[in-house]
Every structure is written in C-alpha cells, then in structure tokens.
C-alpha cells in the first residue's frame, strides 16, 4: 500500500530556484506552497558559488542564472531577474538595480542614490519588471510580471526588501515597505510572473 507521504513525494516536481537572495526565496516559497512544486534552493544542491549575471537585460540575466544551474547540475530549474525602471531616469536603475550604489548591494544606499537623482523631477513614474527563465528538460521558457507605481520622496515602511520602502504601487496609498507580505504578494511583479509560470506548469501536468 502506498502511504500518503510517499504518494505526495512521488508527485512533487523538484525545481531548483537559482537565487542567492533570501527575500526572493521567502516570497516564492509562499507562492508555490499550494502547488506540486518542491522548491530547492542553491544550498540544497550544494551550489555555493555566486552565479554570474553579466547581461545588459533582465531577460539575459535570468537566462544566464538558470543556464548556470542546468549546465552544472543538470536539474530542472528557474531563475528570475528583477529591475526597478524609473521613467524620469530613462529606465535607471533597471538591470543594475542590485548594485546601483556600489558592489555592496545595500538597499539603503541604493534608495538614497535614487531619491537624490529624482529630487528635482516631478515625474515619479516607475515599474518593477521580473523575468523568470525556467529550464525544463533542457528547454527554456520565459515568464514576465510587471507592476506600475510611483517613487515617493522619503522611504516609508520597513517590510519587504530592496526598493520596497520607496515604491508605491498604483491604486494603493502605501508603499511595498508598508503593505503586509500577503498584499505585496498578490500584486507584485514577482507574483505576476510566478502566476504565469505556475499556470504553465499546471497545463504541462495535464498533458
């Protein structure tokens, strides 16, 4: 007789999430909690190297990170790259969001630099864009998610991570730094990209 536990583990789909950002892992773990995805992180597969991201596009970086894991570990995997694109700064910090204020990747320094650059700008429109690159049996699939909003003049809130305290999503009075985790995870760039990705996996399962 097959026990429930072994049945569950037989039907789960192991997928490596190629990220070294613990905040992303935390958010995505919640998003896949009701699916058949068994999320593995880089530690689970013994990968301790910082995966290179040298592309000038978020798509390129997402593909590069996923390909790294596929080439070295031959496992189904996905990676995502995210950027904050600010209209008045011609799309800055964009693909350079993580290291905008230097190689230390400090969120506070990144926000400070952004707010200084935007000081005399009336146009505060911005969007987050996430691209997920998934490699299943060697084939690449891409999924995108975008959320529009504005950059406020001073950081507000201490939830989330990165640029969350300065980004107010359209239709909301609070920044991502003020909204609780569940609220962000319903409307965020990452949530939208993950929704398309999960829908794609569900369709695959039904074939």
The CA distances from residue 48 to 8, 44, 52, 135, 160, in Å, are: 29, 10, 12, 20, 24
Which residue has its beta carbon closest to ligand ITT? 162
Identity of the residue, 178 or 188, whose beta carbon is nearer to ligand ITT in the bound complex: 188
Query: Minimum CB separation from ligand ITT for residue 45, in Å?
Result: 14
Identity of the residue, 155 or 160, whose beta carbon is nearer to ligand ITT in the bound complex: 160
* Bond prior to 93 in cis (omega within 30° of 0): yes
Cβ atoms within 10 Å of 24's Cβ, excluding its own = 19
The residue annotated as part of the active site, out of 81, 123, 148, 180, is: 81
Query: Minimum CB separation from ligand ITT for residue 93, in Å?
Result: 8
Return residues touching ligand ITT (CB under 6 A).
Answer: 19-21, 24, 53, 81-82, 97-98, 105, 107, 110, 160-164, 176, 188, 190
Identity of the residue, 17 or 37, whose beta carbon is nearer to ligand ITT in the bound complex: 17
The strand pair at 125-136 and 77-86 is best described as antiparallel
Token digits for 207? 């074939």
Helix spans in the chain (H): 4-11, 22-31, 58-73, 107-117, 181-187, 189-206
Residue 131: strand pairing partners: 81, 144
Task: Reply yes or no on whether 81 is catalytic.
Answer: yes
| Backbone angles phi and psi of 86, in degrees to 5 | -105, 120
Query: Minimum CB separation from ligand ITT for residue 95, in Å?
Result: 8
Identity of the residue, 92 or 164, whose beta carbon is nearer to ligand ITT in the bound complex: 164
Query: Minimum CB separation from ligand ITT for residue 183, in Å?
Result: 13
**What residues are annotated to the active site?**
81
């Amino acid at each position: 007789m097959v026990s429930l536990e072994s049945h569950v583990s037989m039907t789960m789909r192991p997928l490596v999430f190629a990220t070294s950002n613990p905040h992303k892992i935390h958010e995505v773990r919640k998003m896949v909690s009701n699916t058949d995805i068994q999320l593995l992180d880089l530690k689970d597969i013994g990968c301790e190297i910082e995966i290179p991201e040298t592309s000038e596009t978020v798509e390129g970086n997402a593909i590069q990170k996923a390909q790294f894991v596929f080439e070295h570990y031959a496992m189904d995997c996905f990676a995502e790259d995210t950027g904050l694109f600010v209209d008045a700064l011609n799309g800055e910090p964009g693909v350079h969001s993580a290291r905008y204020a230097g190689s230390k990747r400090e969120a506070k320094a990144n926000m400070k630099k952004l707010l200084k650059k935007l000081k005399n700008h009336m146009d505060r429109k911005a969007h987050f864009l996430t691209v997920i690159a998934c490699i299943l049996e060697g084939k690449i699939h891409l999924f995108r998610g975008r959320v529009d909003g504005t950059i406020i003049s001073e950081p507000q809130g201490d939830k989330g991570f990165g640029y969350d305290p300065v980004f107010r999503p359209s239709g909301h009075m609070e920044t991502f730094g003020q909204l609780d985790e569940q609220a962000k995870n319903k409307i965020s760039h990452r949530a939208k990209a993950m929704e398309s990705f999960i829908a794609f996996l569900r369709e695959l399962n039904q074939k």
